[in-house]
Amino acid sequence: MALHTFIQKIFGTGKSAPQVNLTFTEVPAWITGQESTAKETLVTATREPMREIRNGIATLQLIVTNIAGAEHDESLHPKLRTIAKNSLPQFVKAMKVNLNKELLEDPGEFYPVAAECIKNCLHTVQGQGRYLQAIFPDEMKAVRSGIDTLGRGINSMNPVLAAYRKEMTGLAVSREKYETITGLMADLEASDEKVNRSHARIAEIRERVATIDQELLSLLRDPRMKDIDEQRKAHAGLCRKRDDAARTYSALSMTASHVFRKAEKIATKQRHPSEVGLLNAAMEVLSDHEIADTVRLDAALAAACPLAERMIADGDVVIKNKEERAIFSDTARFREEIALAGRSLCELEEQCQQAESAIASHPLLVKMQSLEREKTQRATMRVKEEQGLSELGQWREKTQKQIPELLLQLREKIAGMSGDNVQLQDPELPAP
């Protein structure tokens, strides 16, 4: 088959072929049919060049065999005979390797092997073969002629294979676009169900939150709330008493610590390390965040107060306000007061915690807290669902614009390959 006829068969003339309206679902079958036709036409168009190449190779094999067994002219110069003796075996061996390659029936697989054979034969002729020109002029001329025959066969296959590859590439692109379109359409159809499920979940969340709000309102009206309010008032009263006790203890401890600190500086200056230790121990107990037990507190103060009193009496430590004077004018009373304040603070703190725990564990509040947690969780779920729904909507909008663009590209590709004899009908697209 002539190359012109082959190309016409693949691409169409655009004149004689009837107009074909192709539905979208028929595209895969049309592509498969075009591939089959292109392959059959390729095989037909390359059959003769391939036969010529096979025959040419067989002829070259025979020529090489004849050269291998030929006797050169004895009248040749001894140097030429030496060249022939050395070059001929290498030439014959190389040519046999080149010509003994397996040539497959598929044109696409046949072509690269045949082209490589020709290239290697030319390389061998231009290499070892150039030394044989003068010795076997006729035979080497026949070798060159045989290689030329192979070259003509390859040249005949070049445009045919190029047209076939172009056609197959176009069909592969068409199949890819078709599969992309069908995949997007399937995804759009599946996304409809996702949208419906998401709307249903959002509606369910809203309904549940509304129910929770009604339950919370009902619990706020529960008669037991009065008991909770009374407990809260009692707890608030205990907290006020605890805070008062904390202020009392803090005032006593800070005032005493201030005087002890001045006494500690004097003891340090006078180099009385034992006194420094006792004063520091008292300040450490007084400044501790945890209220010390009564025994430890009183022991520390019993050791430090006399030292401070002596320094006050000696004039080494100066009392500057009535609070300091009240404490160190009667340290025994001070020790009783601060111990009482500490015990009172600890007791009130414990009572506050017990009252707070009782309120927190009240069944009514436990139920309300559980509902509030669920409401917060539902709100988080709703935000997540709405975000997902928004993202899905954006994807659907983008995809619905993308499909017509891909359809246009597919339609143009098919029309280009068929010479406008095949027109692609629009498929039924998913609703927006």
Q: What is the pLDDT along the chain (432 residues), one digit of tens a residue?
A: 334 445 455 444 445 556 778 888 889 999 999 999 999 999 999 999 999 999 999 999 999 988 887 665 555 556 666 666 677 888 899 999 999 989 999 999 999 999 999 999 999 998 888 878 877 888 889 999 999 999 999 999 999 999 999 999 999 999 999 999 999 999 988 998 999 999 999 999 999 999 999 999 999 898 988 998 999 999 999 999 999 989 999 999 999 999 999 999 999 998 999 989 999 999 998 888 777 778 888 899 999 999 999 999 988 888 989 998 999 889 999 999 999 999 999 999 999 999 999 889 999 989 999 999 999 999 999 999 999 999 999 999 999 889 889 988 888 888 888 777 777 877 776 666
Place of tokens 């044109």: 107
Give whole-number Cα distances, 390 to 198, 356, 381, in Å.
Answer: 10, 45, 14
Q: What is the pLDDT of residue 1?
A: 36
Burial of 2 (0-12, 13-18, 19+ CB in 10 A): exposed
Residues in Cβ contact with 266 at an 8 Å cutoff, skipping those fewer than 6 apart: 311, 316, 317
Q: What is the pLDDT of residue 13?
A: 47
Indicate whether this model's pTM tops 0.85.
no
Residue 319 tokens, joined: 């009392």
CB 285 within 8 A of CB 300: yes
Residue 361 tokens, joined: 């564990």
Residue 170 tokens, joined: 């176009």
Q: What is the pLDDT of residue 198?
A: 94
CB 259 within 8 A of CB 328: yes
Specify the length of the chain in residues: 432
Burial of 225 (0-12, 13-18, 19+ CB in 10 A): middle
Give buried/exposed letters for 341-368 (b at 16+ CB in 10 A, else e). bbbbbbebbebbeebeeeeeebeebeeb
- Cα–Cα distance between 104 and 113 in angstroms, integer? 9
